[in-house]
Amino acid sequence: MPTYNKKNIEDIDVAGKRVLVRCDFNVPQKDGKITSDKRIVEALPTIKYLMDKGAKVILCSHMGKPKGQVNPKYSLCAVAARLSELLGKEVPLCADTVGPDAKAKAAALACGEAILLENTRFDAREEKNDPELAREMASMADIFVNDAFGAAHRAHASTAGVADYLPAVCGYLIQKEISVMGKALSDPSRPFVAILGGAKVSDKLNVIDNLLGKVDTLIIGGGMAYTFLAAKGGSIGTSLFDAEKVDYCREMMAKAEKNGVKLLLPIDTTITKDFPDPIDAELEVSYVKSTEIPADMMGLDIGPKTRELFAEAVLGAKTVVWNGPMGVFENPTLAKGTIAVAKALAASSAITIVGGGDSAAACEQLGFASEITHISTGGGASLEFLEGRDLPGISCLLDK
C-alpha cells in the first residue's frame, strides 16, 4: 500500500511566488453551459488560500477528450467565467496552454491574482507526458501544486511531468483524499466493510484481491455479482456473466475463507425479461433467490432480503468503503438496492467513504451526500487507490 505523507500548500512559502495549480475542472456541460460546478467549488479552498497568501496563481486543467486538437467545444471559457463569479475576482482565460498569451499573462500576474490556462489536452504532448511540454509549463512558475485527484492516476505532463522541474506539493483536495482514504486502507477502525458493485468483475479484479487482505467483510453486488454466483454453481439466467473470470471468482472466494473475511453475495435478485430500453422505462419485476434465476430472465438489482443483509453489515461497521452501484440505478425500479446501501451509509455512525463514479453520483442524486464522511472526487483514481497502486500525480509530490 503506497503511503502518501505528502507536503501540502501550508508546508511551503508561496508569497510572491508564481504557483502552477493543476485542478480538475472537467465539469459537465450542455450547450456551452456548466450543468454542475461541483468540481470548481471543491477547488476553491486551495485557490483562495494561495491568493490570500499573495501567490501569483496559474490554474490549469483538462476538459473532455479533444485528442490533442484545439476544439472550441472543450474550451475552459465557461469555467473561467464561473470561477470569476465564485471568487468575486476576474480570472482571465489564456488563449493557449504554453503559448505566447499564456506566458505573457503569467509574467504580468500580480500577487493575489489568478489566470486560467486553456485546456491542457489541446496539446497532443499532454497525455504522452512529454518532458518538453512539462518543462514549458514549469518555466512559467516557481512551485507546482497538484489538486486534481480525479486525474492523479494519469501520468500526464500537467499532473506529474511538471514535478520533475518544480518543487511540488498537494492542495487541500488531494490532501483530504489521501488522508481519509489512506487511513481507511492502512489503519481502519474495525469492523471494516467494503462494498463493491458495478457491471464487470474485470474492472475490479485488483481491488477485490487487495481488499481481501484488509477488510473484515466484503460485499459484492451489481452486475459483477452474477459471475460469483455462477462460480458457486447457481443459475443466473441471462444476467451479466464473464465466463473468463469464473476461476478468478472461485479463487477470491477461497482467499476470503482463508483470510477469515466474510464475503457477502446477493441472496435474492430483482429480475426482469429484458434490459430497460429506454433506460428509465417502466418495468415489471419479480424477486427470486439469486442462485435460481429462470433461464430467460436477467438479474438487474439486488432483492429486498439482500438489501436488509447488506444494510445490516453496514450498520455494524466502524469503517465502510463503497464503490459501484448495486443495480441499474438509472432506472427508478432498479435503483432500490443502490438506494438501500446509500441509506445505510447515511444512517451509519461509521467512517463512510464513497469512491467516485456512479456510487458518488447516486449519493448526490439521492440527497445523502451530506451524511457521508467523504465522497471521493475521482472515480478512476479512487479505484486505483483501492487497488493499492501508486498514483503518479501524488507519488511525484514532495514527502513531508
HSE-up of residue 347 (Cα within 13 Å, Cβ side): 12
332 upstream amide cis, omega within 30 of 0: no
CB distance 293 to 236 below 8 Å: yes
Nearest-angstrom CA–CA distance, 152 and 218:
26
Nearest-angstrom CA–CA distance, 263 and 209:
12
CB distance 298 to 260 below 8 Å: no
- Residue carrying C-alpha cell 489566470: 115
Residue 100 has a CB neighbour count (10 Å cut-off) of 10
CA dihedral 186, 173, 371, 390 (to 10 degrees): -30
**Residues with Cβ within 8 Å of residue 349, at least 6 apart in sequence:** none
Please choose, from the candidates 204, 201, 184, the residue with its C-alpha nearest in 3D space to the C-alpha of residue 193. 184
SS3 state at 153:
coil
Residues serving a catalytic function are: 39, 200, 357, 380
| One-letter amino acid for residue 122 of the chain | F
Q: Provide the sign of the torsion angle of the four alpha carbons 244, 248, 250, 253, taken in this order.
A: negative
Specify burial of residue 88 (Cβ count, 10 A radius: 0-12, 13-18, 19+): exposed
